[in-house]
Structure 1
Amino acid sequence: MKHLTKLLATALLALGLNQAVWADDASDFRQTLQLAEQGYAEAQYNLGMMYYTGSGVHHDYAEALRWFRQAAEQRVAAAQNNLGMMYYTGSGVHQDYAEALRWFRQAAEQGHAEAQINLGAMYGNGLGVRQDDAEAVRWYRKAAEQGNAVTQYNLGVMYDNGDGVRQDYAEAVRWYRKAAEQGYAEAQYHLGGMYHNGQGVHQDYAEAVKWYRQAAEQGYVKAQYNLGAMYYNGQGVHQDYAEAVKWYRQAAEQGNAKAQYNLGLLYDNGRGVRQDYAEAVKWYRQAADQGNADAQNNLGAMYYNGQGVHQDLHLSKEWFGQACNGGVQEACNQYRYLNQKGY
């Protein structure tokens, strides 16, 4: 299950340790220590957080581990999850996936959503336990049913691709929608794609545009590119080259090679923007440098015709050669022609 590696990173690394829920950063260390030593589980958990983050005391993983363990043994689910995470990462202790699994399980069985994600990831990747996709899905589902948007999205991916479950586009749509409605940009993008392609739902370009837009407005580059394409082609919206330029530009500025190529094309042809060969060359070059063969071909043509650059048939041949290697037959023809002419 390829995507589970990504999910593991999301669950164990990006989420970080649970923040203290009973004390804030201004909590007095001495008072917390006193309560922890008296056996108050909440204080033990908070003290672990203080040592882990270096809040009010010097940073010390070993001490964090000690206090998390004491709280975990009193069934504080957040402490159990954090203890599992420390065993997973080898922070303050030798790395031990089996021990990580044990603590994740204890927290997960108490309904702790992040621990359920972590436990699912351990099963999905076979860490500390025999790899078991079905068991991974079972724990992901528990977290997703609690409203965890990351897991809802990942369940959507699993149903979309048939990873660990029978492929089911309608079920993928259901989980994508749950995460999308919580504002999760990747899910919004994928839900837009399902409407765009008519997978699990009736094809609906307007609905695709709606979800692409929500993701695009959060800066999600693939959605920006797709929204630009919808405006360019007039799918789900009135055709509007200026809007296509706007969204292609946002994606292009984030390094999306296809958006850079399309933006160059719009400047080249003066669609949605004043025709500007130099600007076209700029965007073709950025896409070409990323290996986009169509951009390499067009850049070869710009050098051949001297549009936006000084005419240079040697450079033209070089770019046509790269595009030819990328499978553009027209570029192969131009490369052979220039080669025959001695360039």
Structure 2
Amino acid sequence: MKLAAPLFALVMSAGTVQAAVQDCPAGPEGNLCKAEHGDVHAMYLVGREAYDAARESGNFSEAYRWASRAREAGFLGGKMLFKMIHLQAGQGAHHDYVEAHQWITKALAEGEDYLVPWKRRLEAIMTPEQLKAALRAQTGE
């Protein structure tokens, strides 16, 4: 009986997402609309497209945002994309080392222990000023 209410809520929210998604354009051009309405697969697809673009531009912020949302929704593709973004950030591929450091630090706090060497690698290429800024952000100063 205790499981009935959460299961009912999940089914109802899925129905709400499905209804909202039906108003979105079909095909790849509708992915952003679908993602914004809660479609986790579309969140992954938008994040993956942003990830591919970021490998050229060096800005993984949009990919991180969508991968995080898909991951938080429990979508396996989102979890995998989330890891790929962190690995890129740990190699210094993200244009903002301080932001990349914050992402990795947060992921480590959430149990993503595989990122320890990537955090060290990122810290090795950061300037002393960037490291100080990252530590200030971490402590909330």
TM-score by length of 2: 0.49
TM-score by length of 1: 0.24
Kindly indicate whether structure 1 or structure 2 has the higher relative contact order, using CA contacts under 8 Å at least 6 residues apart. Answer: 2
* Structure number, greater radius of gyration: 1
